[in-house]
Structure 1
Amino acid sequence: MDILSSLGTALLFELSNPYGLALILFGVVVGFAFGATPGLTATMGVALFIPLTFPLPPDLAVGMMVALYCGSMAGGAIPAILINIPGTPSAVVTTLDGHPMARQGKAARAYGWALISSIAGGLISWLALATIAPALARVALMLGPAEYAATALLGMTIIASIVPGQVLKGLLGAIIGVGLSVVGLDQITGEARWTFETLALIRGIDIMPALIGLLVIPELMNSLFERRASARAPTDLKGMFPSLSEWMGQAVNTVRSAVIGTAIGIVPALGGSVGSLIAYDQAKRFDRDGARYGKGAPGGVVASEAANNGVTGGAMIPLLTLGIPGDTVTAMLLGGLMIHGLQPGPRLFETSGDIVWAIIATMLLANIAIAAVGVVGFRFFVRILDVPRHLLAPALFVLAVVGTYSLANQWFDVVVMLCLGTFGFLLTLANISVYPIVIGVILGPLLESEVRRALVISGGDWSTFLTRPGSAAILAVAVAALVLPTLLARLKGNGAAGGGTPHATAEQSK
């Protein structure tokens, strides 16, 4: 009942505020524009528009960013269907069946399926956010410093372990991120650390310049070296939406895919790409016409879009309840929350419950707005694909520089952003993910402060992290997250080697 009353109050407030509704609509439109433009991600959109939210109250500011997030996930299907290039990484799976449908003259129908599935996936994940997040926050309030430190470590190990064959690189990236986070004055003693006697480093490396540098600049640099085909908007939008009977035939697939996406979103760093892949695989398994998948099956579009939009609500759950971002976009949202004086975590529901429920209500309204914006704006959003890449990337680069400077009116922040951006670009050239570094920067202060608090409480006894059941269980999961991928890879390699011996012998005998 508390959930219903809190949500109802927040919804009434949002609906009675025309300015807030306009910001939600603006966020969805901008999100569609970023999603419909290959190379411009939701992460980049949120990062570039955070400076515009400075004059706004926290609930309206975060609401606009959440709306941008939701809109970009839905907009990523447009180029995936039209030109076989995903607008966002999570729309990769949409290309498998969306573009074949477009080649068959069914581009509008493919987009209709994608739009409906996106809305359904977003609404189902929102329902999970509204019901699970408050309960999880109450449970998290019972945790102590040891458990929080273990949770922060778990977030880093999960990030490090998801990069196939690069666990050590992921761990190194997380360590680099933690190293960047400790630059400046010590939180407890006040001593200067890694400042090199430079006054500008006394206050440390701010989170937003680091995030913009690591996540936005490499994307812009990479987009300059990519060549993309021109898009052609469908001239006939008749028959865009499926009939009721066709929709009911995909209802189970939609719900299952949305649930998979929500569950994947709750796990930090897995993201929409993993969710859509798993959902697509399950849809193909359970569909009696599974052989058509990859050749223009509507079920493939439904599974992909319901899952990657289901991730949005799921990724917000660990962000609001534990202060751990579920993906790169929520990492940016974390920075936006902190800039507006909000510290995500279990106490956020106690100290700023009205703002949290306003954010949750905004997410519902954003998913509803996607329907109107997606139908009306489809013809216009596809034209963004015609903008030359060599014109768009420099404009966004200037926006990134201006946005970074406006954070604190410090040119040093711009220098930090550019240096980390160059470093991140070099890492992408070496096929090394920058996300572990990002998570290290974000979770580093939490890890350090909670470890030191736990040691102060225990009198310097490190065994407190193992003797407390909660922290011991979380640490066990963290170790498993690091060890299991390596073990599975070796077992798979041994199995392949074992299976390959008879084959090699047979080839030799020929």
Structure 2
Amino acid sequence: MDILSHLTPLFFGLIAAGTLIGIIFGAIPGMTATMAVAVCLPLTYAFGLENGIALLLGLYVGGISGGMVPAVLLNIPGTPSSITTTFDGYPMAQRGEGERALKTGIVASIFGGLFSAAVLFFFAPVLSDFAIQFSNVEKFLIILLALTVIASLCSNMLMGIFSGVLGVWLSLIGTYSIMDGGNGETRLMFDWMEYHLIDGFSLLPVLIGIFGLTTVLLDAENGFKDEAAQGPISLKNGKRFSFGVFKGQLTNLVRSSGIGTFVGMLPGVGGSAASVLAYSQEKNFSRDSSQMGKGAPQGIVSSESSNNALTGGALVPLLSLGIPGDSTTAILIGAFTLQGIQVGPLFIGNNLDTWYLMIIALVVANFLMFGIMYFAIRRIAKVVEVPKYILYPLIIMMCVVGAYAINYGIMFDVWTLLIFGLFGWVAHKIGLEVVPLIIGFILGKSAEVYFVKSLESYGNFSIFFTKSPIAMVLWALIAVSLAFAIYLRLRNRRETRTTTVS
């Protein structure tokens, strides 16, 4: 396959369309990049792998970047990763510097996005080559480590662990294949559901339900209250933007982009953690930290460069290990599944052309994001005024049609969409962590196969502790992640007690 033959007007047009749609989704409070990718996922089947991935990467980059618009104009983060953008963006908008704040964020965003794309290009193949040498034991421990890291960084570690285990349990519903070490019998389901669940729940309707329909249900519960009712701050007659605002900000840009990329590599941590960490580091090292939180441009720079650096960082574990870095890259697995391709250590080596096209799409999406937002920011800002009662019926229709068509017209996939949409709503109410649950669902079957095949090959559990130095290192990392989570919980409890006493 010739790479140049895929660099067609359709390829670049889909990147542009995805980036624009992603920006719109990100700019409307409550509609995230994850939701944009989930809703548009069924479309990728018609375009083929390379063009489909181009569309989804455009949605990803645009959705993350678009979140700064309501963060600056409404003081409402459009995406979770934009929460620290509100700290300085909204105060700047209040004093007539809304356009300056947005364009500062746009420039920081492209820097972070291109920084992480470079890290992805150079680091993912190296990690893949190393991971190819893993046996079933190491592969199982890698998945266990991923689930442990996700759970340990949740606000409630025990709930995070429970959510991950629940996701693994849901993934085991269906036939236990003889090829995977089973006996070919069905399990974990009622007789009346056996026909529909012989292969388990289909991944794509599950993803669309939890990340698409659940969002609609949560907003519907509040009566579709319009966050823009308070009125966005006008961008007219404000202080104009100048690139001089970045004078002395190179260290901030590089440090924040590096933090965002690294956090993106940690499975399931999310953009909010990256932006908060980068913002706090800039506050610690800034020469004039007293202005941060009052409308300091360096606060926007740290926030937006870090959360956009997530895009490339989160793709590193996905493409090199087959482990999604966040909820959006978890949905990207669905796109590969549609095309019959499995991501993991062999992906880059076996699909070099697709790999290079993904890097090209990621870089182009960042430049298009910059061009669209920088030169049309006043028009894009009007998106926050679009009422959700117009948008959400269209989204529900797209979810249903996509779930039905994704496996050539199986009605049970629509029921799966509804079941997991309601399940996501209930999970939100009772405090379940959705990201660990979904990643557990995606990785559960693979974890079982590696676990069973390890036991078949070596006969006892001791092999998980004595197989190789790599296995021992992975066990040490698992212990460290759990110990760190326990430490954070104890420290937070101590700080809460101190605050209460004082």
- Cα 1:107–1:235 change in 2 (3 A) is closer
1:179-210 per-residue CA deviation (whole Å, 9 max, x = no partner) reads 11111111323221123222011121111111
When residues 452 and 392 of structure 1 are mapped into structure 2, their CA distance, relative to the original with a 3 A threshold, is same
Q: Structure 1 234/270 Cα, relative in aligned 2: closer, same or farther at 3 Å? A: same
Task: Tell me how far 1:396 sits from its aligned partner.
Answer: 1.2
- Residue 3 of structure 1 corresponds to none
Contact 1:233–1:382 (CA under 8 A) maintained in structure 2: no
Q: Does 1:213 align with 2:209?
A: yes
Q: Deviations over 1:43-99 (max 9, x none)?
A: 110011011111112111112101110011111101110111111110011000000
Provide the rounded CA distance (Å) in 2 between the counterparts of 1:400 and 1:379: 30
Q: Residue 397 of structure 2 corresponds to which residue in structure 1? A: 398
Q: CA deviation at 1:13?
A: 5.5
Residues 428, 406 of structure 1: CA spacing in aligned structure 2 closer, same or farther, 3 A cutoff?
A: same
Q: Paired residue for 1:172? A: 162
Whether the aligned pair in 1 keeps the contact of 2:26 and 2:66 (CA below 8 Å) is yes
| AA matched with 1:223 | D
Stretch deviating more after TM superposition (187-196 or 366-375): 187-196
Paired residue for 1:430? 430
Match of 2:310 in 1: 311
> 2:55 pairs with 64, 78, 84, which one?
64
Amino acid paired to 2:381: V
Distance in 2, Cα, partners of 1:451 & 1:443: 12
Q: Percent identity?
A: 36
In structure 1, the residue matched to 2:332 is 333
Aligned mates of 2:452, 2:119 — CA distance in 1 = 34
Q: Distance in 2 between matches of 1:246 and 1:176?
A: 48
Q: What is the Cα deviation at residue 128 of structure 1?
A: 0.3
AA in 1 matched with 2:139: Y
The code of the aligned residue for 1:115 comes to: I
Q: Is the 8 A contact 2:72 2:90 kept in 1?
A: yes
Structure 2 counterparts to residues 166-205 of structure 1, below 5 A: 166-188=156-178, 189-197=183-191, 198-205=194-201
Per the TM alignment, residue 482 of structure 1 is displaced from its structure 2 partner at its CA by: 2.4
Q: Deviations over 1:12-50 (max 9, x none)?
A: 556x42111111111110110111111111111001101
Query: What residue in structure 2 maps to residue 302 of structure 1?
Result: 301
Matches within 5 A, 1:51-450: 51-164=42-155, 166-188=156-178, 189-197=183-191, 198-224=194-220, 225=222, 227=225, 228-230=227-229, 231-232=231-232, 234-236=234-236, 240-243=240-243, 245-408=244-407, 409-450=409-450
| TM-fit CA distance, 1:484 | 2.7
Of stretches 101-110 and 461-470 in structure 1, the one that deviates more from structure 2 is 461-470
Q: Deviation at 1:287?
A: 1.4
Aligned counterparts of 2:49 and 2:169: Cα–Cα separation in 1: 30
Q: 2 CA distance for matches of 1:357 and 1:158? A: 29
CA distance in 2, matches of 1:256, 1:321: 24
1:187, 1:449 within 8 Å by CA — same for their partners in 2?
Answer: no
1:461 alignment partner in structure 2:
460
State the Cα deviation string for residues 203-249 of structure 1 (Å, max 9, x = none).
Answer: 21111111122222221122231631344464537765323x43232
- Contiguous gaps of at least 5 residues in structure 2: none
Shift in CA distance, 492/55, structure 1 to aligned 2, threshold 3 Å: closer
CA contact (8 A) 1:223 1:393 kept: no
- Give the secondary structure class of the aligned counterpart of 1:199: coil
Question: Where in structure 1 do 4 or more consecutive aligned residues deviate above 6 Å?
Answer: none
> 1:495, CA displacement in angstroms?
7.1
Q: Could you tell me how far 1:167 is from its partner in structure 2?
A: 1.7
TM superposition shift of 1:321: 0.4
- CA shift for structure 1 position 382: 2.1
The residue matched to 2:216 in structure 1 has which SS? helix
CA shift, 1:370, in A, is 1.1
Q: What is the Cα deviation at residue 411 of structure 1?
A: 1.2
Partner amino acid for 1:57?
A: G
Between 217-226 and 422-431, report the one with greater CA deviation: 217-226
Please report how far the alpha carbon of residue 178 of structure 1 lies from its aligned counterpart in structure 2 after TM superposition. 1.0
Which stretch has the larger CA shift, 216-225 or 480-489? 480-489
TM-score between both structures, scaled by the size of structure 1: 0.92
**CA spacing shift, 1:293–1:474, aligned 2, 3 Å:** same
Shift of 1:402: 1.3
Are the structure 2 counterparts of residues 28 and 240 from structure 1 closer, same or farther at C-alpha, using a change threshold of 3 Å? farther
CA distance in 2, matches of 1:386, 1:493: 41
Cα gap change, 1:289/1:375 in structure 2, threshold over 3 Å: closer, same or farther?
same
Hey, what does 1:35 align to over in structure 2? 26
In structure 2, distance between residues paired with 1:423 and 1:53:
26
1:489-504 to 2 correspondences below 5 Å = 489-491=489-491, 493-494=493-494
Task: Tell me how far apart the structure 2 counterparts of residues 13 and 265 of structure 1 sit (CA, whole Å).
Answer: 32
Going from structure 1 to structure 2, the CA distance change for 1:82 and 1:13 (only over 3 Å counts) comes to: farther
Which residue of structure 2 aligns with residue 508 of structure 1?
A: none
For the aligned residue pairs, the C-alpha RMSD in angstroms reads 2.0
Cα distance in structure 2, aligned partners of 1:491 and 1:93: 23
Amino acid at match of 1:425: W
- For normalisation by structure 2, the TM-score amounts to 0.93
Matched residue pairs, number? 490
- Where does structure 1 lack aligned partners over 5 or more consecutive residues? 1-5, 505-510
Q: 1:90 to 1:494 in 2, by over 3 A?
A: closer
